[in-house]
């Protein structure tokens, strides 16, 4: 299993300190660049990559190191820290030692620590940087994060407590989409996915492949037993023809902690004055009492929250879409992904938000109608779905069976209600009447669906959806529809 080794330093790693760390393994090794210069690779004499090092990231968001690496990686105080990630090749046994030597040398020069603890202890003083070191060109299709590449899948081996959507993994995901492959992440059963990583594993052939500890594999999201066949991990049917569920997947314990999930879509007219992120900020304020702590295009999230900078990035990347992740404070766990999409009509924002609540904390279900009203009045709401489920407050995703979410509320914006018909939309066959939102001439509606304590929320949502879809034949509606 691959070891990723990370140096966390207080001082900025300049180019020569990174090179000096890489050459701690000896001057006979060669350097080259990959990823359009964003990655340095330490290679043997035959040109085989041994260690790949990502460009240093300045993490300015408190709590990020502990969120992704565990409490032992927590930094002193709330000051920023430089995160330098090294990935050892799985093909060369000595690569992990070299990655540790690099991280240890870098931390020693710049004042910092190495994760996992002890990984850099064998670094020693290393060899001095020889004069005249140059970088060798890298193959155009180099993907440092990928351990096995076939016609069907790119397989990434990871062994860390939380599998984050790092810049490497994000690059690998984009490459697999472009090449019509699946991304398959292989981990021990003790690993968890970050919310951001879970959000991009949409389904086969992309998978979270988990080692069961006994030589077998299973899907970390569905529990289906897997096997390697024809260049990818896939279901392993039993004698009956059905794919069994791994026993370890069902080994769960009940929890009284809960997660509130909010999915929001907005649609804005094209406008030079548009500032994105307002809907996400409104959701965050309602669920946590404050704004997001930080945002970025990968994990660790490195930038303090700024709607202006988010908007600038989306405009720079248009007409391509922009995917970002935002996080909350350690005291109030919350995380969201935001995709900004340029359309013919304007700009859409797709938001998936989740906040965690402990046993003695109450999700703000009573504030959902007010939130929906703000989204309709100020942020061009298309739709909002709110769900509640029993799950861990820390928001990471275990390779275990989890309770399904239950819908507690649904909202539609003014344009969608106009297409459905306001009279029809305000009279669903539900016990609780919807709340009218926004201007009376162009209303939206919020539909309460329950408190999340039973599966009735799914029944109510199904009844509501059937009712709203019947607008395809408005002339057939009776007076009581």
d(CA 456, CA 447): 14
What are the structure tokens assigned to 346, written together? 């304007």
Q: Please tell me the least confidently modeled range out of 26-35, 121-130, 260-269.
A: 121-130
- Does the structural domain 4-127 have CATH classification 3.40.50? no
Q: What pTM does this model have?
A: 0.89
Per-residue pLDDT tens for 85-138? 998 887 777 788 888 888 999 999 999 999 998 886 654 444 433 444 344 444
Confidence at 36, pLDDT banded by 50, 70, 90:
low
pLDDT of residue 361: 94
Per-residue pLDDT tens for 312-345? 999 999 999 999 999 999 899 999 999 999 999 8
Mean per-residue pLDDT, 431-449: 96
pLDDT of residue 132: 40
Phi, psi of 349 (to 5 degrees): -120, 125
d(CA 196, CA 185): 14
d(CA 299, CA 292): 15
Mean per-residue pLDDT, 12-39: 73
pLDDT of residue 481: 33
Instruction: Decide if 26 contacts 50 (C-beta within 8 A).
Output: no
Phi, psi of 238 (to 5 degrees): -85, -170
Q: Is the pLDDT of residue 139 over 60?
A: no
Rounded percentage of the chain residues whose pLDDT exceeds 90: 66
Confidence at 141, pLDDT banded by 50, 70, 90:
very low
Instruction: Decide if 374 contacts 384 (C-beta within 8 A).
Output: no
Q: Tell me the pLDDT of the chain averaged across its residues.
A: 88
- Domain spans of the chain? 4-127, 148-250, 258-476
DSSP states along 6-35: EEEESS---HHHHHHHHGGG-TTSEEEEET
Instruction: Decide if 53 contacts 19 (C-beta within 8 A).
Output: no
pLDDT of residue 272: 86
Confidence at 279, pLDDT banded by 50, 70, 90:
very high
Q: Please tell me the least confidently modeled range out of 116-120, 397-401, 413-417, 456-460.
A: 116-120
């Amino acid at each position: 299993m691959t070891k990723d080794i990370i140096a966390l330093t207080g001082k900025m790693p300049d180019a020569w300190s990174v090179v000096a760390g890489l050459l701690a393994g000896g001057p006979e090794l060669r350097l080259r660049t990959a990823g359009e210069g964003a990655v340095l690779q330490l290679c043997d004499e035959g040109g085989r990559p041994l260690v790949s090092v990502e460009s240093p990231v300045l993490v300015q968001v408190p709590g990020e190191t502990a969120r992704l690496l565990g409490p032992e990686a927590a930094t002193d105080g709330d000051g920023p820290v430089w995160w330098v990630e090294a990935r050892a090749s799985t093909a060369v046994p000595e690569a992990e030692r070299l990655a540790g030597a690099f991280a240890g040398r870098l931390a020693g020069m710049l004042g910092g620590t190495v994760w996992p603890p002890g990984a850099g202890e064998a670094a020693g003083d290393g060899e001095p940087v020889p004069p005249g070191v140059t970088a060798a060109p890298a193959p155009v299709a180099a993907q440092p994060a990928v351990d096995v590449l076939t016609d069907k899948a790119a397989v990434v081996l990871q062994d860390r407590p939380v599998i984050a959507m790092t810049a490497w993994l994000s690059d690998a995901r984009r490459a697999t989409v472009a090449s019509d492959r699946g991304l398959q992440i292989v981990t021990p059963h003790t690993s968890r996915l970050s919310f951001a990583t879970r959000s991009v594993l949409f389904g086969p052939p992309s998978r979270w492949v988990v080692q069961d500890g006994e030589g077998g594999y299973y899907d970390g999201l569905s529990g289906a037993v897997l096997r390697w066949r024809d260049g990818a991990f896939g279901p392993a049917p039993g004698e009956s023809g059905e794919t069994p569920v791994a026993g370890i997947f069902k080994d769960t314990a009940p929890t009284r902690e809960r997660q509130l999930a909010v999915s929001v879509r907005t649609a804005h007219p094209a406008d030079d004055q548009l500032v994105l992120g307002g809907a996400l900020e409104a959701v965050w304020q309602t669920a946590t009492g404050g704004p997001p702590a930080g945002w970025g295009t990968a994990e660790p999230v490195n930038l303090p929250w700024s709607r202006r900078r988010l908007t600038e990035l989306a405009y720079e990347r248009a007409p391509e879409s922009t995917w970002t992740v935002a996080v909350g404070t350690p005291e109030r766990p919350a995380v969201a992904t935001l995709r900004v999409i340029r359309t013919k009509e304007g700009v859409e924002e797709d938001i998936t938000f989740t906040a965690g609540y402990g046993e003695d904390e109450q999700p703000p279900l009573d504030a959902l109608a007010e939130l929906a009203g703000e989204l309709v009045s100020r942020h061009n709401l298309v739709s909002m779905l709110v769900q509640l489920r029993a799950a861990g407050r820390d928001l990471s995703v275990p390779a275990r069976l989890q309770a399904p979410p239950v819908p507690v509320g649904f909202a539609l914006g003014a344009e969608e209600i106009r297409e459905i018909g306001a009279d029809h939309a305000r009279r669903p066959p539900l016990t609780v009447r919807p709340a009218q939102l926004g201007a009376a001439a162009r209303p939206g509606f919020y539909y309460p669906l329950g408190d999340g304590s039973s599966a009735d929320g799914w029944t109510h949502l199904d009844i509501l959806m059937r009712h709203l879809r019947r607008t395809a034949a408005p002339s057939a509606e009776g007076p009581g529809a």
